């Protein structure tokens, strides 16, 4: 059992937790993920590490309470326990050979983009962050991004905060200006796909953080397989970061919807169970 040390609501349905897991905190790096189970009969879900406090022995996770399991997790309070918490899994994000980076985050994915931006910033690199949300209520971590970015663009779909645009617009403008040598995108699959496509004519290195359906997270089940550069790769052990140009996004999108019906049914059940949480 793993204790929840702190809980914060960053935006409606977007929650930050600090989990007591000293061994994970000790070795976690930006780009890696953990797998947790909320209860003894729960599913294993991967969440990318949003930060760690080595001295305190805690790992930060940020998640949107959008599915049955994340809704269950959101019901837990500081002081409660979760059943399982294992990690860090996957390979850390490689920041070598980058001088000027574009860090693109979308929705809850910005929570995972933040440690990458912070890492680059800490290494003295030029960081241009572009983060996008649906509307102003969902905006998270604005100050944190501003603090670690040399340039910072905030966009929303409806223009209620920052510019009314998709992340690809400021991304394209930045690419036009030039001088960047890497684009790191973390967020929903369609966002990552179009961020990569925006970069393609400019030929700069792209890195995407894939988050497919996983079970064990150690390479044992093959559920998280992706086609990258025509080859089958397992996101859990070969990734989660991959060269964006090489990833077959359409296949990844199809695979991510494999259990859509079951998920919808379980989500509805969870909604009924936690009346009022919607």
Partner 1 sequence: MMPNTQTSKTPMPTRDPKERVRDFGEVATGYTAEMAINEAARCLDCKNSPCVSGCPVGIAIPRFIRHLKSGDCEGAYRVILESSSLPAVCGRVCPQESQCESKCVRGIKGEPVAIGRLERYAADAHVEGPREEKRETNGRKVAVIGSGPSGLACAASLAGKGYAVTVFEALHEAGGVLTYGIPGFRLPGSIVKAEIGRLTARGVKIEKNTVIGRTLTVDELFENGFEAVFIGTGAGLPSFMGIPGESLCGVYSANEFLTRVNLMRAYEKGAATPVSPLGQTVVVGGGNVAMDAARTALRMGASGVKIVYRRGERELPARKEEVEHAKEEGVEFCLLRNPVEILGYENEDRKDTRAGRVRGVRVIRMELGEPDERGRRRPVEVRGSEYDMACDTLIMAIGTSPNPLIKQTTAGLETDKKGLPCDQRGRDGHLAPRRFCGRRRRHGRRDGHPRDGRGEEGGGGDRRVSEGKTERITGRMRFFRLFVNEKRSAYAYF
For partner 1, the binding residues (CB under 8 A) are: 23-24, 27, 37, 41-44, 68-69, 83-89, 215-216, 218-223, 225-227, 232, 234, 237, 248, 250-251, 254-255, 257-259, 261-262, 266, 269
Is 54 or 134 the residue whose CB approaches partner 1 more closely? 54
Least distance in Å: CB of 170 to partner 1?
30
Q: How far is the CB of 7 from partner 1 (least distance, A)?
A: 21
How many Å apart are CA 138 and CA 17, to the nearest integer? 17
Taking the least distance from each CB to partner 1, the nearer of 15 and 38 is: 38
Q: How far is the CB of 264 from partner 1 (least distance, A)?
A: 12
> Least distance (Å) from partner 1 to the CB of residue 203?
27
Name the residue nearer to partner 1 (CB basis): 34 or 98: 34
Report in angstroms how near the CB of residue 177 gets to partner 1 at its nearest: 37
Least distance CB 150 / partner 1 (angstroms) = 32
């Amino acid at each position: 059992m793993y204790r929840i040390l702190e809980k914060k609501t960053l935006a409606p349905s977007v929650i930050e937790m600090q989990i007591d897991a000293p061994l994970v905190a000790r070795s976690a790096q930006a780009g890696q993920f953990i797998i947790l189970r909320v209860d003894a009969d729960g599913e294993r879900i991967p969440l990318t590490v949003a930060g760690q406090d080595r001295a305190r022995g805690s790992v930060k996770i940020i998640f949107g309470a959008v599915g049955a399991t994340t809704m269950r997790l959101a019901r837990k309070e500081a002081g409660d326990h979760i059943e399982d918490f294992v990690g860090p899994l996957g390979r850390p994000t490689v920041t070598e050979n980058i001088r000027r980076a574009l860090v693109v985050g979308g929705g809850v994915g910005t929570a995972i983009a933040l440690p990458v931006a912070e890492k680059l910033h800490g290494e003295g690199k030029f960081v241009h962050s572009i983060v996008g949300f649906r509307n102003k209520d969902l905006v998270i971590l604005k100050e944190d991004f501003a603090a670690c970015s040399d340039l910072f663009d905030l966009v929303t779909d409806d223009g209620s905060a920052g510019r009314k645009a998709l992340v690809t617009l400021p991304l394209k403008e930045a690419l036009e200006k030039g001088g960047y040598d890497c684009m790191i995108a973390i967020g929903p699959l369609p966002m990552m796909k179009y961020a990569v496509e925006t970069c393609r004519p400019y030929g700069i290195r792209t890195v995407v953080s894939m988050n497919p359906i996983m079970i064990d997270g150690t390479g044992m089940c093959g559920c998280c397989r992706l086609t990258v550069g025509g080859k089958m790769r397992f996101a859990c052990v070969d990734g989660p970061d991959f060269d964006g140009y090489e990833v077959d996004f359409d296949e990844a999108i199809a695979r991510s919807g494999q259990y859509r019906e079951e998920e919808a049914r379980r989500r509805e059940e969870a909604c009924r169970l936690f009346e009022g949480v919607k």
